Amino acid sequence: IHVYTPREVYGTVGSRVTLSCSFWSSEWISDDISITWHFQAESSRDTISIFHYAQGQPYIDDVGSFKERMEWAGNPRRRDGSIVIHSLEPTDNGTFTCDVKNPP
């Protein structure tokens, strides 16, 4: 599976930003497909999980500063695992990673 995200995404404090994640697989998109977004703050070495999509349902992680500001915007059938973050804050600056698994 190949996963594609923009190298850099810019937003302004208070606005919203879409974090795009598209993917391509030579195999059929499984009902067991899972998508996980991780975040590493610019000032941190720790990476936290902020979002999961599994068994056809989006799950926003209940920890961290994103839990009330995140929206699922993807559609795995269209090979899209994008999310939206609302009300951007300066502490949102960092590295976001989209991880897609299409078992088996």
pLDDT at position 43 is 86
pLDDT at position 58 is 95
Q: Is the pLDDT of residue 63 over 80?
A: no
| Per-domain boundaries in the chain | 2-101
Residue 67 — pLDDT band, cuts 50, 70, 90? confident
Check if the beta carbon of residue 2 is closer than 8 Å to that of residue 23.
yes
CATH 2.60.40.10, applies to 2-101: yes
78: left (phi over 0), alpha (psi -120 to 50) or beta: alpha
Q: Is the pLDDT of residue 27 over 90?
A: no
